[in-house]
Amino acid sequence: MSNQLIQSAYKTLSGYTPLSGDCGRLCNSACCTSEGAMLLFPYEYDLVKEQNYEFTKQNLKGFGDVYAMTCNGTCDRAFRPLSCRIFPLAPKMIQGKLYVQLDARGRSVCQLTHQSILSLNEEFIIAVKKTLIMLSEDDTITRCLSAMSELVDLYKRKIL
């Protein structure tokens, strides 16, 4: 069931991109070719474990262990993780309500994270928010979204 939620999230986000054109052309796909791992969402590992990614486990404060993946800079887009699909956005949880925010963890690689969120494609922002709200049907995912929100906040305040 929860695995299906992640698959639904992939589907809901299908076709939406941060800018109306291919932003990878602006930066030579910096987020795909730079160092750094993307965190997997709960239940997502089973969907992507056969891909040519490397997996480690990381402790996500306030949640617990999560899988983190790295790739060689290319992937089968049908199997790219959710974190890649929503980047440069991340969840923002305020008093139990879900919003989106620019992902401060990506500041060293993505120029879009230095601009206003309004510079992103509005349909992309709406699709990401809708997806995160849909995922929050699951309590475990909700706890993970909250922990991710806090992690990004720490980066924003330059504590990490």
Which two three-digit tokens encode residue 34? Answer: 């730079």
Strand partners, 35: none
| 136, 91 Cβ separation under 8 angstroms | no
How many whole angstroms separate alpha carbon 62 and alpha carbon 73?
30
Region near ligand SF4 per CB under 6 A, out of 70-78, 116-124, 137-145, 150-158: 70-78
Region near ligand SF4 per CB under 6 A, out of 23-31, 56-64, 137-145, 151-159: 23-31
CB of 21 to ligand SF4, least distance (A): 10
How many whole angstroms separate alpha carbon 160 and alpha carbon 142?
23
Q: How many CB atoms lie within 10 A of CB 138?
A: 18
The position carrying tokens 């699909």 is 85
Kindly state whether residue 30 participates in binding ligand SF4, applying the rule CB under 6 A: yes
Q: Which residues within the stretch 96-155 sit at the binding site for ligand SF4 (CB under 6 A)?
A: 109-112
Q: Which of 29, 107, 117, 121 binds ligand SF4 (CB under 6 A)?
A: 29
Q: Which of 74, 115, 119, 140 binds ligand SF4 (CB under 6 A)?
A: 74
CB of 16 to ligand SF4, least distance (A): 12
